[in-house]
Amino acid sequence: MARHKSQWLKSVTQMINNRHMIRVDIADAQANLSRYLASVEGGETILICRRNMPVAEIRPVAKPPAETRPVGTDRGMTVPSSFFEPLPDDVLDSFEGKQELR
């Protein structure tokens, strides 16, 4: 009974997770690949199955952002000039394990 219940739960979970996917067998995917790729370009996900068991998924690639974000800065963030000044000797010594930072 427990095994039947767990198999039922697994089947229901797969149906819920796959409700927006197109399921095809391998032969159909090979014969109609260009048609399925057109569906993928439209946002669909294709689940390829062997004997009704999923073996692969074809889904759209994430689109790159519309505009590039500058590297290393946040909106309006500025770096103070003191950031580029040398660190004090006691801080450098603590990085090198010569003394503890207080």
Domains belonging to the chain, first-starting first, are 19-61 (3.40.1620.10)
Q: What is the pLDDT of residue 10?
A: 66
Phi, psi of 63 (to 5 degrees): -75, 140
Q: What is the pLDDT of residue 72?
A: 67
Which of 5, 89, 75 has the alpha carbon at shortest distance from 98? 89
Would you call 23 helix, strand, or coil by DSSP?
Answer: strand
Q: What is the pLDDT of residue 12?
A: 61
Q: What is the pLDDT of residue 36?
A: 92
Residue numbers of the chain with a pLDDT score lower than 70: 1-20, 70, 72-73, 100-102
Which of 51, 58, 60, 59 has the alpha carbon at shortest distance from 27? 51
Q: What is the pLDDT of residue 35?
A: 93
Q: What is the pLDDT of residue 79?
A: 80
Q: What is the pLDDT of residue 5?
A: 61
Phi-psi region of 52 (alpha: psi -120 to 50; beta: other; left: phi over 0): left
Q: What is the pLDDT of residue 93?
A: 86
Beta partners for residue 24, in sequence order: 48
